Amino acid sequence: MSTSTAVSSEDVPGSFSTWLASHTLLRTFWTLMRREFWEHRSLWMAPLVVTVVLLICALLTHGAFKIDTTDTLEWLDPENKTLVFALAQWGLTVPFYLVMLLAVNFYLIDCLYAERKDRSILFWKSLPVSDGATVAAKLFVGCIVVPLGTFALALLTDLLFTAIWNARAWLGHSSELVAWDTVAFLKTQTLMFLGLVISILWYAPLCACLVLASVLVRRNVLLWVTIVPLLAVIAEKIIFRTSYISDLIDYRIGGIWKSLHVEGATFGSVTNVGLAEIVSLPRFYDRVHVLPAFTNIDLWLGLIVAAACAYAAAWIRRYRDDG
């Protein structure tokens, strides 16, 4: 029998764990968050797999990314190089956010259901942790820690990927397509980060609704959170011939992006701005303004709804195992 792990993680003076030990509330919250990553390993494994796959692609792909040398000359135009560089960053980020979207959604609908399914709820409740702290930790992990962690990992992957490509270009293994451009890099990452912050705030009520469903529904949470809204939309259409519910769902999913202000065009109709505008990506970035998204009152009202759902989830969990 080995006891080395538990013993080696004893507090070391001056370490983070020693600091935490003197802050009971923080230590509890930190422990609750770690617990989520122990149970739901897909939260950290899925983005890591994306990183590994992308880095392998950066090392191995050759044929797929090879551009005919006659074209390359044209692509090596500085503005086009910036465009390719920025688009590559966006492209590298997409798989991260897709995977995160799946992982977080499945996590949120499962987080308060799993403990009832495996009957471990009474073990968790035998410890001095309030229902409020439990729900808060789960929401915090799903809505903030995982998105920010994914952003950081995507950023790191982006840097590594670009470094590998540049090294390969320097060694003559590939064309110099993804040349480094600091300004484009900073602008792209800033815009991505602001987009992420807007997403976190805007989707908080949806996330909290999923957590509420996970504590409320007795079984088949996934079915409930998909079928019930769908039936509500269909029923409203048939009975009242209106579409308030589907409009609301539509708005809470994509509405905020229409608040982003692009000079000369709305973000929603960016494709109409014209190819000439898009290819000049640095100029396009300068014309995007995110402030209107933050001044959208619905963004902040949504947070009140999120808080109400979280409160309701904690309140329901209080007596949830009570048949």
Partner 1 sequence: MIEARGLKKSYHATHALEDVSFTVESGRIVGLIGPNGAGKTTALKAILGLTRVEGELRVLGLDPRSQRDALMRDVSFIADVAVLPKWLRVDQALEFVAGVHTRFNRARALEFLRRTDIRMKSRVRELSKGMVTQLHLALILAIDARLLVLDEPTLGLDLLYRRQFYDILLNDYFNKKRSILVTTHQVEEIENLLTDVIFIKHGRVALESSVEGLAERYVQLTVNPDDATRARALQPFYEREVFGRIVMIFEGRTAAELAPLGELRTPSIADLFVAKMEAA
State which residue, 27 or 261, has the beta carbon closest to partner 1: 27
- The residue type at 317: R
Minimum Å gap between C-beta 25 and partner 1 is: 10
State which residue, 24 or 72, has the beta carbon closest to partner 1: 24
State which residue, 258 or 320, has the beta carbon closest to partner 1: 320
State which residue, 35 or 261, has the beta carbon closest to partner 1: 35
Minimum Å gap between C-beta 263 and partner 1 is: 50
Minimum Å gap between C-beta 224 and partner 1 is: 23
State which residue, 2 or 70, has the beta carbon closest to partner 1: 2
**CA nearest neighbour of 89 among 196, 180, 170, 3:** 180
The conformation of residue 141, written as its DSSP 8-state character, comes to I
**CA nearest neighbour of 211 among 104, 119, 292, 126:** 104
Distance between CA atoms of 92 and 50, rounded to whole angstroms?
Answer: 10
Minimum Å gap between C-beta 85 and partner 1 is: 42
For tokens 């995007």, the residue is 288
Contacting residues toward partner 1, per CB under 8 A: 1-7, 9-10, 24, 27-28, 30-32, 34-35, 38-39, 114-115, 118-123, 125-130, 318-319, 321-323
Distance between CA atoms of 189 and 13, rounded to whole angstroms?
Answer: 37
Residues in contact with 35: Cβ distance below 8 Å, sequence separation at least 6, in sequence order: 137
Q: What 3-state class would DSSP assign to 264?
A: coil
Minimum Å gap between C-beta 35 and partner 1 is: 6
Radius of gyration of the chain (CA): 24
User: Which two structure tokens, joined as six digits, stand for 81?
Assistant: 């190089």
